[in-house]
């Protein structure tokens, strides 16, 4: 088993790195036998990649990427073939995270294409990642300063998600009707997936609960106090059958139709 605190401390000593957090299911206490270990590596400016590659080289077969190599939002990272569960490092630009927080405070939310995120990457995911993480190394308190601004859940963010993605949830489900009637399951399922995905973000925002990715998002939403009854099972049936009427019922029960 990798000593995460020791590894995080070593990474935090690398030039350009300002902090390291444990993220994902392990930070939330929801890991299972399929879960990797995700470490968010926060930087300001350029990092000393040669030093990071020296650390990664301790586990043969590991790989370190350049910032930006994985796309516009995930940014880049490393795969460490550590014993047991693989350890993933994810680069995060702390100045960009701060910019997103400033956008959110102005009521601006965005969702853009990103490899590995079929629903798209929601800009507020940067904030969700940091808010739900376990800080392992933060020598100058830079991460703590931003985390303090994320508690409580920003009211401006909840309002922006409700307005932007509440509208899109209804719009997308409505657009599924014609392809579903034609038997175009590919298109209909895509619209329903997007519409329900937007609904899931709205439900989390209403409850003031952070949501970072599509992974287990429906199961998480089903546990929220404002979720429609039997939410997860109904979503499974909708996506399996392209039942647009059933999707509309979810929206109605969520006051979005």
pLDDT digits (tens, 9 = 90+) for 147-193: 999 999 999 999 999 999 999 999 999 999 999 999 999 999 999 99
pLDDT value, residue 127: 98
Task: Answer with the one of 84, 118, 148 that is the final residue of a domain.
Answer: 148
Domain end point (choices 129, 148, 167): 148
Rounded average pLDDT over 53-64: 96
Per-residue pLDDT at 200 exceeds 90: yes
- The answer to whether residues 68 and 166 belong to one domain is no
163 and 122 in one domain?
A: no
Alpha-carbon gap, residue 111 to 63, rounded angstroms:
28
Other C-beta atoms closer than 10 Å to the C-beta of 179 total 19
Tens-digit pLDDT profile for residues 118-131: 999 999 999 999 99
Residue 222 has pLDDT above 80, yes or no: yes
77, β-bridge pairs: 90
The verdict on 14 and 127 lying in the same domain is yes
For the residues 59-74, what does the mean pLDDT come to?
93
128, 148, 168 — which closes off a domain? Answer: 148
Shared-domain flag, residues 128 and 111: yes
- The pair of three-digit structure tokens given for residue 116, joined into one six-digit string: 């590995």
Task: Of 77-86, 148-157, 164-173, 244-253, give the lowest mean pLDDT range.
Answer: 77-86
**Are 35 and 93 part of one and the same domain?**
yes
How many domains does one find in the chain?
A: 2
pLDDT at position 31 is: 62
Nearest-angstrom CA–CA distance, 149 and 143: 10
Q: Are 59 and 80 in contact (CB under 8 A)?
A: yes
- 1 has pLDDT over 60: no
Q: What pTM value is reported for the model?
A: 0.93
Q: What pLDDT digit, counting tens, does each position of 88-110 carry?
A: 999 999 999 999 999 999 999 99
| CATH number, residue 95 | 3.30.460.10
- For 163, the domain range is 155-253
Whole-number pLDDT of residue 166: 98
Interatomic CA distance for residues 78 and 109, integer angstroms: 28
Cβ atoms of 141 and 149 within 8 Å: the answer is no
């Amino acid at each position: 088993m990798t000593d995460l605190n020791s590894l995080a401390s070593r990474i935090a000593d690398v030039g350009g790195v300002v902090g390291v957090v444990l993220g994902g299911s392990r930070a939330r206490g929801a890991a299972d036998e399929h879960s990797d270990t995700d470490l968010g590596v926060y930087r300001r400016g350029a990092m000393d990649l040669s030093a990071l590659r020296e650390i990664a080289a301790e586990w043969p077969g590991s790989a370190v990427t350049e910032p930006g190599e994985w796309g516009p939002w995930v940014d880049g990272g490393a795969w460490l073939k550590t014993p047991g569960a693989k350890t993933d490092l994810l680069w995060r630009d702390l100045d960009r995270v701060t910019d997103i927080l400033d956008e959110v405070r102005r009521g601006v939310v965005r969702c853009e294409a990103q490899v590995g995120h079929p629903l798209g990457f929601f800009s507020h995911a940067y904030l969700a990642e940091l808010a739900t993480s376990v800080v392992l190394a933060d020598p100058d308190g830079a991460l703590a300063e931003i985390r303090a601004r994320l508690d409580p859940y920003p009211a401006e963010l909840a309002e922006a998600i409700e307005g932007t993605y509440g509208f899109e949830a209804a719009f997308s489900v409505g657009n599924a009707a014609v392809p579903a009637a034609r038997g175009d399951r590919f298109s209909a399922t895509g619209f329903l997936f997007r519409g329900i995905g937007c609904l899931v973000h709205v439900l989390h925002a209403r409850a003031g609960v952070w949501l970072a990715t599509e992974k287990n998002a429906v199961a998480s939403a089903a546990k929220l106090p404002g979720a429609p009854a039997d939410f997860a099972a109904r979503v499974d049936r909708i996506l399996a059958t392209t039942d647009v009427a059933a999707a509309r019922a979810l929206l109605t029960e969520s006051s979005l139709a």
